[in-house]
Chains A and B, each alone.
Chain A
């Protein structure tokens, strides 16, 4: 049961608190430490150090802890890099570890290694299986989220063109006596170029379309004067909307970028959605509807003094996309002398708070992140790691495609090109699922008439 490779992952929940930890485990971490911080740190001492990228430039500064084997959590050498907790920095730091020779850990893999190296006792070990199971499920859920929309469409297109090229190349290798017709050497190069362009396209959409990059979009909906603007001000921490007692004061959809625990988040305050003859207000209402289309989450703000969802709000809710998560915010509990709390009604989150006094705002912040799957609830792998996996897989696949193109340019032996294509597809399989030799043969037999 020898694992020799080095694994790395972000060990702290994304964006939680000011400090984030990247943990690295494996045999002989001296070389890696040398590359990340420039020296081998003293064992079991907290040392302030710069974290370096592969060009030797500092990307952050923080505390390094080094636990040589066997006295560590996993029983292997463990290096803990404590940096500034924002996702961008953590992401960069993790990338540095990976380019320095580590690979991204599987869900639950640190615990697994600790167990396999006899660092956990029997009682703790009982729960290892559960941890792996839970974190895998969470990872799968996050991967699903990460795979939605544009990114998904782009990657499937990529896999399709790659599979088609592999199909032709492998058919030529395994069935040389068939009347080929389906293969022109010159064509391989142009097909490779197409695949590389597709990959670039996927990378682009992985960046553009991702929650990570764009942050999440939260739309505030509710009747006039239920306190949406106050709520937003509370979230943002500064006055951006005009707060008055006159209904309909907020006339425009305002997109305000804020950060909750280091995570970019766009709150869209809306013109109250209500029937109006005012021309300016009508424009505002139209804009609100179009922002809702693109949202990740809707906050329905209500006055907790009023009983249940107002008929007008019901109409609005029914008009929203069904899969969009909605949190019901019951505002103004200060006027009822109630406690802040979270309840769940029919799978729907209900939060009781007061935007004016700030009571319950922390609950809202946490739940916001949770509902969109941004942040894990129990140390599970979040969408952040899922996305990181995808980007890594794309980079790997890209490197193999570059090799393949070089081989095609040199018109070298086809079996080497085939190997690079196979490796490229294998890299992508972590996103798209396994594509076995049998699957490939199946495609060949259904596309070409093979067989003497």
Chain B
């Protein structure tokens, strides 16, 4: 039957990508339907119970700056908060929270249920409805037909998912959930380029069977960090510590004894796993000289005893899993509540996507999350948000949007995916961002909230808070530029004791407060203790912003110059229907790569591996020549023979 309501946007899947996509589209006023095979698991954290970390925390803040749910939900569910890299500089500083799974799910569910324009429906999707090369809707397991102008597919690891424990394997979306077999089959039939990836989880342990006395405790930082720009520490539930223990030589012997029954080492698993998140058997084999590996025992929540032992993801047979866990200090009597497993799943080559995350092959069909070859909740949420925004824009007949590489980690993520594709599950690292110094957690709102407001995903409350902060920053910056100190002979001189105390030396020429703040070893707080420096701002976020912007001014300017130099490449569109083998002067390697990728701009083309600056020059020439021939045609039509 055909469902009575028509939708603007349908989102398939209720994980971190799907929920952000649905919320974003609905926030933008579009009538949105979220289809999930199980409403109970909306916002489920299927793997480790934590949000954020290096690079990932940056993504969470960006999602938040664009009005997304992840940061706010983490603030409501986080039971241990830490700031990583706090001493290494503001750009690589990152927030991470251990989350109570139940509280997190509830926080997401509440937002979904209360979001205007958003409909929830529980049904697995089996098929897509197409009209030529455009999407028109989806068909569910029961044969219900839902129509929409845009569909966002966020199927996670569910597409033809195959879980492995030892040499036994079973079809699953994740442990306890059925996979999407018919949809996977249908998508494969559409000839979208697909591949196979693998990921894994560790066995879970009953906390009552753990002896923590021999382990190192790791508590939340003080003051308690906060994720959302609109959040505060009072929202956090009771905090719990994590614990650190290690594998040992006998653990490694046990693992070696089980390798003959490992699906990873016996060739049963075909999918490629991530190098940065290897299974414990992988670590032991590849780094055989290392006698010990670190394990973080992370609490799964306030209302459960289950513990997630981060660092021993494995697909070894269950009898080995028990032995290896019990060989670890403090886990001698551990009771495993769920076996660890590896899962293989279909992903689609992200080089088949536009930077809006719309597939190049099917108009109106968007892909987000793990189906694009990424891993991680944060990567999924960020893509979901972007796909949701663009699906909404599409149905509003507005231009698509994607942040540039210098604007957001989200821009880096999408650009990497569509220009380079993936060879393993893609995870964000700060080293992937060439403009790292300006893509910081602290300025995610300054980078994105205004754009989000224009797009319609940022509500008035967030906008007002942002606007106030931004004005406070500018106001304080202007004030710092206006307050001057002179040398000891001048009328506005500093008392020598104060100068030595704060600046380490006396002032030799006229200096504004702002200039003084630019010096590497002078903090804002300290500077404000100078007599005549004025009161300064109280809001620590405003003070932080003023200080970082002053200190990093030189670096940021250099990066901005570089961005300006490359801007014209990003602004030069390339035709999508061009056969590059017809272009003279290109090497056959370049022709082949350009035909495979069909980059949207000269800038994207430049980032495809193996495409040289000379090739880009040629593309500019051809782009211009196309313009010429059009112009010439017009001139000829008007009967003018100017040439």
- Where the two chains meet, the residues of A that have a C-beta atom closer than 8 Å to any C-beta of B are 1-5, 106-109, 112, 115-116, 121-122, 125, 128-130, 132-133, 136, 170, 172-179, 410, 412-416, 418-419, 422, 434, 436-438, 440-442, 445-446, 449-452
Contacts and interface: CB of A to CB of B under 8 A. Distances in A.
Interface stretch (B119-127, B229-237, B391-399, B614-622): B614-622
A451 B572 CA distance: 40
B584 interface: yes
Given A2-B568, A107-B614, 6 more contacts: A1-B571, A116-B621, A173-B88, A419-B555, A437-B429, A441-B275
Given A438-B420, A449-B290, A449-B293, A133 B84 contact: no
Given A132-B614, A414-B89, A1 B276 contact: no
A277 B182 CA distance: 92
Which 5 pairs across A and B sit closest by C-beta, in order of nearness? A415-B89, A413-B89, A129-B585, A445-B275, A136-B614
B276 A445 contact: yes
Contacts of A179: 294
A422 B620 contact: no
A183 B92 CA distance: 17
Of A410, A413, A436, A438, chain B has the most CB atoms within 10 Å of the CB of A413
A174 B429 contact: yes
Contact of B283 (A112, A410, A449): A449
Contact of A452 (B55, B287, B296): B296
26 contacts: A2-B567, A115-B624, A132-B621, A133-B614, A173-B54, A174-B92, A177-B84, A410-B520, A413-B89, A414-B88, A415-B88, A415-B437, A416-B437, A416-B555, A418-B436, A419-B555, A422-B434, A434-B609, A441-B275, A441-B276, A449-B278, A449-B286, A451-B274, A451-B276, A452-B310, A452-B311
A449 B311 CA distance: 11
B555 A128 contact: no
A89 to B, nearest CB: 29
Nearest to B87: A413
B564 A129 contact: no
Contacts of A128: 621
A449 B287 CA distance: 7
B54 A176 contact: yes
A249 B632 CA distance: 73
Given A173-B92, A177-B84, A452 B555 contact: no
A132 B615 CA distance: 9
A440 B89 contact: no
A107 to B, nearest CB: 7
A112 B89 contact: no
Of A109, A132, A422, chain B has the most CB atoms within 10 Å of the CB of A132
A173 B94 CA distance: 10
A358 B22 CA distance: 86
Given A112-B617, A133-B618, A445-B276, A173 B85 contact: yes
B265 interface: no
Contacts of B311: 451-452
A416 B89 contact: yes
A256 B515 CA distance: 61
B157 interface: no
Contacts of A107: 614
Contacts of A106: 613-614, 617
A174 B430 contact: yes
Contacts of A422: 434
A415 B92 contact: yes
Contacts of B91: 415
A19 B613 CA distance: 31
Contacts of A175: 54, 276
Contacts of B621: 112, 115-116, 125, 128-129, 132
Of B87, B91, B286, chain A has the most CB atoms within 10 Å of the CB of B91
Contacts of B572: 1
A141 to B, nearest CB: 13
A260 B625 CA distance: 42
A449 B565 CA distance: 38
A112 B555 CA distance: 31
Nearest to A173: B92
Given A106-B613, A173-B88, A416-B555, A451 B431 contact: no
Contacts of A434: 609
A440 B431 contact: yes
Nearest to A407: B520
Contacts of A416: 89, 437, 555
Interface in B382-436: 420, 429-434, 436
Contacts of B170: none
A171 B294 CA distance: 16
A130 B585 contact: yes
Contacts of A129: 584-585, 618, 621-622
Contacts of B287: 449
A441 B429 contact: yes
B275 A125 contact: no
A240 to B, nearest CB: 45
B537 interface: no
B643 interface: yes
A126 to B, nearest CB: 8
Given A173-B54, A414-B88, A419-B437, A5 B565 contact: yes
B141 interface: no
Contact of B431 (A3, A441, A449): A441
Given A2-B567, A173-B54, A413 B613 contact: no
A266 to B, nearest CB: 35
Contacts of A441: 275-276, 429, 431-432
Nearest to A133: B585
Nearest to A121: B643
A415 B436 contact: yes
Of A174, A179, A441, A442, chain B has the most CB atoms within 10 Å of the CB of A174
A322 B241 CA distance: 71
Nearest to B440: A415
B378 to A, nearest CB: 14
Contacts of A132: 585, 614, 617-618, 621
Contacts of A122: 625, 628-629, 632, 643
Contacts of B624: 1, 115-116, 125
Contacts of B430: 173-174
B277 interface: yes
A33 to B, nearest CB: 22
B89 A451 contact: no
Contacts of A172: 88
Given A132-B621, A174-B430, A450 B89 contact: no
Nearest to A442: B275
A174 B618 contact: no
A268 B187 CA distance: 72
Of B48, B293, B564, B621, chain A has the most CB atoms within 10 Å of the CB of B621
B576 interface: no
Interface in B568-610: 568, 571-572, 584-585, 609
B520 A412 contact: yes
B188 to A, nearest CB: 28
B266 interface: no
A26 to B, nearest CB: 12
A5 B274 CA distance: 41
B612 interface: yes
Nearest to A178: B294
A422 B286 CA distance: 28
A451 B283 contact: yes
A410 B90 CA distance: 17
A132 B586 CA distance: 10
Contacts of B628: 122, 125
A3 B617 CA distance: 12
Nearest to B426: A438
B431 A174 contact: yes
A163 to B, nearest CB: 13
A414 B274 CA distance: 27
